[in-house]
Chains A and B, each alone.
Chain A
């Protein structure tokens, strides 16, 4: 069961990485980052079957940080949308030279 869970976690992480690289919509990139966080959570839970309850506690902390990150990231996306009227990441090239 632990090995299968770790393999599932790796697959989900890779799918999330591919999504971040291949989509241009900032909202969907953000969703894929959440997917990566969840994949890591799953491997934490799987490792808690090997090393004890600490893994589950770290998942608790990761979920809290993900909630905070979602709030701040969505606020950033909204304020970007106010300026550019789009969330396509190719339109934001202010820092490019």
Chain B
């Protein structure tokens, strides 16, 4: 059952990703991206990362994609599809480059021999003890508290930087 669901979500994610690259209008591209993000949230649930699945929907598909949508509609883009896709030799070269990357990735995946390690059982124990949110939160606020605070500073800098960049007269 779980593997059937996984293949369903995987097909949806790959179809959405191809749609992102090939869609004619930027709005369509963005809606395909939302599909991909939703399908990936489904795979997160199947991999027992429930909190991350919720965050994926709320933050990524909700907040970040709406930000993209605002900008696309603000700039009124998407009337020159012919000039948008790079054709000819460049597309062939890009296809070759991505093919080489895919080949390396496939070879790595083939040689390492992935096994279900001890991590799965430990995560299941953590979720049973603290709940799906608590399992991440206990680790995040004890071992990784310094990176967490640095993330807060990063967000502050990003807010100030975005304001300065988007202002009319600088």
Contacts from A to B (Cβ < 8 Å): 1-8, 10-19, 21-25, 27-28, 30-32, 34-35, 38, 41-42, 45-57, 59-61, 63-72, 74-79, 81-82, 87-88
B128 / chain A contacts, CB cutoff of 8 Å: none
Question: Are A75 and B14 in contact, with the CB atoms below 8 A?
Answer: no
* Complex contact A8–B13 (CB within 8 A): yes
A60 adjacent to B47 (CB under 8 Å): no
Number of CB contacts from chain A to chain B under 8 A = 233
Taking a contact as CB atoms closer than 8 A, the residue among A22, A24, A50 that contacts B117 in the complex is: A50
Q: List 8 A-B contacts (CB under 8 A).
A: A1-B2, A6-B109, A22-B21, A28-B20, A45-B52, A47-B119, A63-B56, A82-B168
User: Is A70 a contact partner of B67 (Cβ separation < 8 A)?
Assistant: yes
The majority secondary structure among interface residues of chain A is helix
Chain A residues contacting B162 (CB-CB under 8 Å) are: 71-72, 74-75
In the A-B complex, the 10 residue pairs with the smallest Cβ-Cβ separation, listed nearest first, are: A68-B158, A50-B117, A21-B94, A75-B165, A19-B21, A10-B105, A75-B162, A75-B166, A15-B17, A71-B162
Q: Number of contacting residues on B, CB 8 A?
A: 84
Complex interface: chain A residues within 8 A of B13 (CB): 8, 12
Assembled-state Cα–Cα distance A2/B140 (Å): 24
Q: Give chain A residues whose Cβ lies under 8 Å from the Cβ of B120.
A: 49-50
Q: Nearest chain B CB to A25's CB is how many angstroms away?
A: 5
Knowing A28-B20, A48-B123, A72-B162, say if A63 contacts B29 (CB, 8 Å). Answer: no
Chain A residues with CB below 8 A from B47, complex form: 1, 5, 45-46, 48-49
